[in-house]
């Protein structure tokens, strides 16, 4: 009986060689699945390349809207920044791809899925844990992790076996891209002291003549408009990315902690993602009740960590997402951002029809509606526990908190 495997196919060197290797070494028929998540590649050419490598079938799936709606928006509502900086660019696209790999495996009667990840990276975790969560019966094959070939070896293998590739031995950087951003690795970037050269960047080239100001509109935590114009989420992200990226905004240079235990120097470009998170955080400051806002802030890093670690299809991520979704009902309004040449950005205005800011309570001018006399009793009761403790310390000869502690450091 012929075995079939569904391969997550990018059209690059490793997955092209993997098609031939899976056939020659393991006896699989290969169904190549290329998922469009906004990487900007010519996926029809990718499909033809997959067939040219020997895949029995090549499937191309447009998942841009799916990525934006079902993955990027929940990440935005969670203000998800892994280690407070990285907006989960690659981590968000992997569960989308996994969903389609499993679906195609079922459709084609495959018994396994395969990916082109190495043993060092996070993506192997995301692909494999995600697949096992959705289809624990499927086998998982990781050719790059087991074949022991260097990049030069893989190129030589392709040349020896007539595998059509576009890679060259001079390729410097490894790049992963989707509509939420762009990740760059390898080359000089692997030295954490080295300044990334300008040629690694594509989305944050400073071309704007001066400052750029944009107004982003949200409805229930979902971005819906740009400068008053209603847009679908894919179009909004694309237009915002180009607009604010032209000021140089959106670059991230970080040494991050991979799930596998390695510290890795990473460079990212995510102009729209970072701008949207900044705007969304600010609008929540206007619209969320204090305790809800504080608890959400406490849970956001955990949500980001789960997704980074490949646990999108986990009960904890789903539970946290349910809480986060419930907080978004009134996150409606507009936020105005100002971008300065050189990559600077600041919030310069916000407004909401359901905002909790009350001018009469906040102002100190003649319109002040706050009853200041009420504060005396509130402050006295709020501090009653500390007052009682301090009095007991004094009665015991401790002389108060400072004296009792004996030092302030």
Active site (annotated) includes residue 94:
yes
Q: What is the pLDDT of residue 147?
A: 92
Q: In what order do the strands lie in the sheet with 263-269?
A: 174-178, 181-185, 263-269, 251-257
Task: Kindly state the helix (H) or strand (E) to which residue 334 belongs, with its residue range.
Answer: strand 333-340
Residue 406 confidence (pLDDT) above 70: no
> What are 275's two structure tokens?
């701008």
Catalytic residue among 36, 123, 176, 241: 123
Task: Kindly state the helix (H) or strand (E) to which residue 302 belongs, with its residue range.
Answer: helix 290-308
Active site (annotated) includes residue 123:
yes
Q: What is the pLDDT of residue 171?
A: 65
* Better-predicted residue by pLDDT, 316 or 364: 316
Per-residue pLDDT tens over the stretch 102-121: 999 999 999 999 999 988 88
Active site (annotated) includes residue 168:
no
Query: How do beta strands 3-8 and 181-185 pair?
Result: unpaired
Stated pTM of the model: 0.92
Catalytic residue among 4, 69, 174, 336: 174
pLDDT band for 409, please (50, 70, 90 cuts): very low
pLDDT band for 402, please (50, 70, 90 cuts): low
Per-residue pLDDT tens over the stretch 132-171: 999 999 999 999 999 989 888 988 999 999 898 876 666 6
Q: What is the pLDDT of residue 408?
A: 46
Q: Contact, 173 vs 184, CB < 8 A?
A: yes
Active site (annotated) includes residue 42:
no
* Better-predicted residue by pLDDT, 409 or 325: 325
Residue 80 confidence (pLDDT) above 50: yes
- Percent of the chain past pLDDT 70, that is, above it, reads 95
Domains and CATH numbers, the chain: 3-171 (3.40.50.620), 175-288+330-351 (3.90.1260.10), 359-401 (1.20.5)
List residues bridging with 29 in a β-sheet. Answer: 4
Residue that is written with structure tokens 């899925």 in the block: 113
Alpha-carbon span 166 to 85, nearest angstrom: 33
Catalytic residue among 47, 49, 94, 251: 94
């Amino acid at each position: 009986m012929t075995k079939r495997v569904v391969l997550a196919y990018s059209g690059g060197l490793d997955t092209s060689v993997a098609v031939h290797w899976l056939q020659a070494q393991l006896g699989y028929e290969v169904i190549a699945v290329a998922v469009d998540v906004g990487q900007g590649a010519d996926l029809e050419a990718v499909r033809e390349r997959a067939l040219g490598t020997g895949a029995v079938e090549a499937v191309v799936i447009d998942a841009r809207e799916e990525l934006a709606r079902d993955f990027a928006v929940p990440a935005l509502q969670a203000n998800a920044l892994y280690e407070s900086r990285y907006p989960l660019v690659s981590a968000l696209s992997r569960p989308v791809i996994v969903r389609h790999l499993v679906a195609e495996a079922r459709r084609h009667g495959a018994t396994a899925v395969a990916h082109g990840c190495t043993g060092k990276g996070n993506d192997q975790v995301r692909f494999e844990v995600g697949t096992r969560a959705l289809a624990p019966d499927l086998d998982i094959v990781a050719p790059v992790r087991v074949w022991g070939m260097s990049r030069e070896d893989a190129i030589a293998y392709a040349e020896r076996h007539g595998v059509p590739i576009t890679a060259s031995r001079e390729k410097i950087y490894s790049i992963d891209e989707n509509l939420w951003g762009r990740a760059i690795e390898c080359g000089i970037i692997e030295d954490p002291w080295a300044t990334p050269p300008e040629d690694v960047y594509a989305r944050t080239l400073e071309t704007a003549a001066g400052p750029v100001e944009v107004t982003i509109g949200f409805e229930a935590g979902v971005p819906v408009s740009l400068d008053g114009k209603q847009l679908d989420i894919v179009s909004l992200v694309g237009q915002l990315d180009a607009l604010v990226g032209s000021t140089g905004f959106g670059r991230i240079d970080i040494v991050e902690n991979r799930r596998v235990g390695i510290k890795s120097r990473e460079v990212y470009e995510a102009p729209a993602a970072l701008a949207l998170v900044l705007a969304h955080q600010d609008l929540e400051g206007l619209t969320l009740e204090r305790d809800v806002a504080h608890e959400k802030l406490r849970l956001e890093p955990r949500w980001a960590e789960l997704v980074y670690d490949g646990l999108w299809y986990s009960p904890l991520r789903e539970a946290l997402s349910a809480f986060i979704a419930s907080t978004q009902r009134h996150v409606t309004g507009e936020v105005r951002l100002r971008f300065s040449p050189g990559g600077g950005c600041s919030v310069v205005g916000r407004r909401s029809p359901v905002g909790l800011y009350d001018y009469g309570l906040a102002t100190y001018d003649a319109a002040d509606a706050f009853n200041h006399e009420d504060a005396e009793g509130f402050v006295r009761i709020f501090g009653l526990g500390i007052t009682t403790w301090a009095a007991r310390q004094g009665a015991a000869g401790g002389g108060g908190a400072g004296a009792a502690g004996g030092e302030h450091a």
